[in-house]
Chains A and B, each alone.
Chain A
Amino acid sequence: MMTTSSEKPSRPSTEKSAPLPDGLTSMLERFVSPISARAMLRAAVVKAERATGAASLVAVLQQLELSSNILILPSQREEALAAIRSLMPVARPVIEERASFEAPAVEESISVVRKESDLNYTRMLAREACSLVGVRGYSAQKVVTAVSELARNIARYVGDGKVRFRIDTDKEQIIIIAEDQGPGIPNLDDVMTGNYRSKTGLGRGLMGVRNLADEFDIQTGSDGTTVRIAFRYS
């Protein structure tokens, strides 16, 4: 199997481009299926070209490092990263720094919310996120209550969605993203101004979340709703 760099002769190669070693595919095949290995490599070449203008070996390996976080099983990830890094032509500290900076961005907990019994697990993840960064008391209560409101909206009105938890150590924020592919909120203005009252006596949930969170952003439309909230923990 030829590597994908030779399959793309259309792009003029620059001085940074170098033929990728044949061992790349077989190295990846140790961790994923041959089909996935080829796909990973092809995607890495395309991304490297987009990012740096040429599919240099270093750029391709960097892309492979990033995609290995998603495609390779957690148990094998360490070994795979070591294998990828061993192919780097020169061990440059800059690359290491970049890799370690980007890696935590993938670290997130996700709770799938379908029904109201999923709320307990979602709230538990919120509590875990708080305890991870030492947030307690009123601050933790705000996070958990806001998550509870967002997850309940998904369970009640859509029936399928996700709540993602991320910790941004640079900005010192707990970031929570609640997303669904539901019909959207048609009367968002009423909901956010407090003029809406639901049948169950709620209707203050989203407004309450906006008041609780340090940052609040909502995007809603016929293809779904995404609410992103952030709480500072410094």
Chain B
Amino acid sequence: MSNNDRVTCIPLWDCLLVPLHGDVGDDDADDLVSEVLQRIQRDECFGVLVDLSGVWTLDSHLCSVLARLALAARMMGAKTVLSGMRPEIAMTLETMGIQLRGIQTEATLEDALASMGITRVSRRDQASDDVLVQLLLAGDSGPAARTSFETKRDRGQ
């Protein structure tokens, strides 16, 4: 795995997060495709998240590279989602008449993660969380265990 310094691939559970930034040269784009496809096979990823928030310019060539990447990844069983396209880039592509057919695009990285089924679980009730932890530690389950825990805590107080 050499000469791939310019492409960052971050494993994220079963997905691959690929943040692109700056001026993505043609060599970088080629590296990107080969690196991502290798990682899909090696790490058994089912999703590729390409984040474009830091990209300066997106021209027809980079679009076609991304479309090729998405197509090849799909053949390998992985879904590709683009996220974070800046408004001026989106408007430029629209003016040029370039449509990213066959690639799912999302506004933000959060939305892209959600489309992969990865969502944030909010911790609403700290107390009930503690209960859960204690239950798991106790190795018990069901209402009986819950009762026993509460009893223990009551005793402690």
**Residues on A facing B (Cβ under 8 Å):** 116-117, 119-120, 123-124, 127, 137-138, 140-142, 144-145, 148-149, 152, 194, 200-202, 204-205, 207-209, 211-212
Contact = CB atoms under 8 A, between A and B. Distances in A.
B134 interface: no
Contact of B97 (A123, A200, A204): A204
Contact of B92 (A123, A142, A205): A142
Q: Summarize B's interface: helix, strand, loop or mixed.
A: helix
A144 B97 contact: no
B30 to A, nearest CB: 10
B26 A149 contact: no
Contact of B98 (A116, A123, A144, A204): A204
A137 B23 CA distance: 16
Given A123-B57, A148-B57, A204-B60, A137 B97 contact: no
Q: Summarize A's interface: helix, strand, loop or mixed.
A: helix
> 5 closest pairs, A vs B, by CB?
A208-B96, A201-B64, A138-B88, A141-B88, A148-B59
Place the interface of chain B in its size category. Answer: 20 to 34
Given A137-B88, A144-B57, A145-B92, A200 B26 contact: no
Contacts of B117: none
9 contacts: A123-B23, A123-B57, A141-B88, A144-B57, A208-B60, A208-B97, A211-B95, A211-B97, A212-B92
Contacts of A202: 60-61, 64
Given A127-B56, A211-B97, 8 more contacts: A149-B59, A152-B61, A201-B64, A204-B96, A204-B97, A208-B97, A209-B96, A211-B96
Contacts of B103: none
Contacts, number: 73
Contacts of B25: 116-117, 119-120
Interface of B: 23, 25-27, 56-61, 64, 67-68, 87-89, 91-92, 95-98
Given A149-B60, A205-B60, A141 B92 contact: yes
Given A152-B61, A211-B97, A201 B92 contact: no
A54 B140 CA distance: 109
B137 to A, nearest CB: 55
Contact of B23 (A116, A120, A211): A120
A119 B26 contact: yes
Contacts of B64: 200-202
Contact of A207 (B88, B91, B97): B97
Nearest to B27: A117
